[in-house]
Structure 1
Amino acid sequence: MWQAVPGLASLRAVHVERDRTTGVFTIESASFPLVAMAQSWLVGRGAAPERFTSLTPIGPADRETRRVETLLRETGPERFTVHDDYTYTTEPYDIWVIATDTRTDDPQLPVRVFHERRQVDDDTYTLREGRFPTVEAARTWTRDPDAPLPQPRTSPSARAAAAARGGTHAAPGTVVGTAPGPLAPRPSTAPATPPPRPARKATP
């Protein structure tokens, strides 16, 4: 949970494999910015998702946070190509990840930003996703992470499902299901130009 270089991912996933016949073991590890991404990496190496537990009092704030975490945990490296990530080690402890969705349901918005923010007062955190047309557009958003994240447009399959239920539109934020698999680890290199931490906007 700590990283000496500002901006680098501060979580470490560790996979230990024991060979009882030879009496030896091997260790493999990788760094990730988000817990769900680290869990996905472990799932790809045989971990059972339902066995994950948390020893920290900090938990997800709402259903949307759990939904996005499930999406990240159950998708593999063939879907998301991570371009950038940044972890702030000062309040409000923001984390953002920019990735291209190779199986997007909206080709005009193939890039996603996953944004986690700690709710210090009640020991929770929120995780949200937004859709962008390009990586550069996503990077522009990261200069002001208090700005709203662009939401996904309704996919044709979601519209068809809504029509079958008698509605005209699917619920906002509908996500197409994906096959489970691990996310590829990010290389442990410092960001070339760490972005400045913007001042938080006052809430009227």
Structure 2
Amino acid sequence: MPEVDFDVDELDADEQISRDFYRQVQVREDMLFPLAEHHTAGGEHSYYVLFDRTATWGHPGDPQYVAVHLHRHPEKRTFDFEKATLPLPSMAQSWLIHRGCPADAIGLNPELGPPSADEATRALEQRLAGDGDHYALGYSYTRDDPDDMVTVVVLRALDERATAPFRVVVEEVDTGAWTHTLREGAFATVAEALTWCQDRLTGTAGPLPPVRPATSATRPALPSTASNPRPPGRSR
């Protein structure tokens, strides 16, 4: 099993930052399973997608992925950090990308976790990682029952012009084939989205309503990457 090393033991920090980092991240360092990480040249910035193995014993439905951005200040020998707990790896990737991590540097280790079952899953994961900041997370529930491993997520489009602003994203793991699928549906109201999620968790949900392609008038503009070449660094 790979282990995560945050490499901050030789650094000082504001007392509150040190306390927060220990309580929120470092205290369970041996239970955080690195799925992806990237370190810029010189080690100033580190980005991590981590699977939290303690989540299965926590509150039912808790998200199982942790995104961490460490910013070290070598000249001062200090550091600060940001973290987020998220229900899907692609959402953790998106969170890190929009904090400066190059998109092509934070790919998940293909040998860890169940691979995508089909092209539709891969395409949706890519889109969530790339434009996840166009949505706000409203609700999620993760069930790690081997007989029904599923995560349901409700997102709200930040573009007020969206005709179906609430999206439900569903990840299902086939434990026999050891693959996973990701699917998306569009809803007009949050009540409809939440009802579908509850029905899915009880096994009574119908098909997801299809998502109509966004038009140029309603699609949020993607951030340009032409002027942001990948900085030198290492990923593993």
TM-score, scaled relative to structure 1: 0.71
Where does residue 30 of structure 2 map in the other structure? none
Gaps in structure 1 of 5+ consecutive residues: 158-174, 182-204
Higher RCO (C-alpha 8 Å, min separation 6): 1
Any residues of structure 2 matched to 1:1-204 within 5 Å, and which? 1-2=52-53, 3=55, 4-51=58-105, 52-54=107-109, 55-77=111-133, 79-91=134-146, 92-103=148-159, 107=163, 109-145=164-200, 147-154=206-213, 178-180=221-223
Asked if structure 2 preserves the Cα contact closer than 8 Å seen for 1:15 and 1:42, the reply is yes
Partner Cα separation in structure 2 for residue 112 and residue 97 of structure 1:
8
Q: Cα distance, 1:104 vs. partner?
A: 7.4
Unaligned runs of 5+ in 2: 1-51, 225-236
Q: CA-to-partner distance for each residue in 1:81-106, whole Å, 9 max, x for gaps?
A: 22211111212221011112133775
Give the Cα separation in 2 of the matches to 1:49 and 1:59. Answer: 19
CA contact (8 A) 1:75 1:178 kept: no
Distance 1:105 1:128 in 2: 23
Q: For residue 99 of structure 1, what is the amino acid of its counterpart?
A: L
Q: 1:155 to 1:10 in 2, by over 3 A?
A: closer
CA distance in 2, matches of 1:154, 1:39: 23
Q: In structure 1, the residue corresponding to 2:154 is in which secondary structure? A: strand
> How many residues matched?
163
Q: Between Structure 1 and Structure 2, which shows a larger proportion of strand residues?
A: 2
Percent identity between the two aligned chains: 32
Counterpart AA for 1:179: L
**Separation in structure 2 between the aligned mates of residue 97 and residue 8 of structure 1, nearest angstrom:** 11
Confirm or deny: 8 A CA contact 1:82 1:97 kept in the other structure. yes
- Cα root mean square deviation, aligned: 2.5
Three-state SS of the structure 2 residue aligned to 1:8 is coil
Structure 1 residue 151, shift from structure 2 partner: 0.4
Cα distance in 2 for residues equivalent to 1:71 and 1:148: 21
Higher helix share: 2
- Report Cα offsets for 1:48-100 as digits up to 9, x if no partner: 121223150421111111111112111153x2122211111212221011112
Separation in structure 1 between the aligned mates of residue 87 and residue 221 of structure 2, nearest angstrom: 21
Q: Judging changes above 3 Å, is the alpha-carbon distance between structure 1 residues 112 and 62 closer, same or farther for their aligned structure 2 residues? A: same
Partners of 1:98 and 1:138 within 8 A in 2: yes
Aligned-partner SS, 2:131: coil
* Partners of 1:177 and 1:39 in 2: CA distance: 19
- How far apart are residue 27 of structure 1 and its match? 2.7
Q: Which residue of 1 aligns with 2:47?
A: none
Contact preservation (8 Å) 1:106, 1:153? no
Taking the aligned partners of 1:178 and 1:122, their CA distance within structure 2 comes to 38
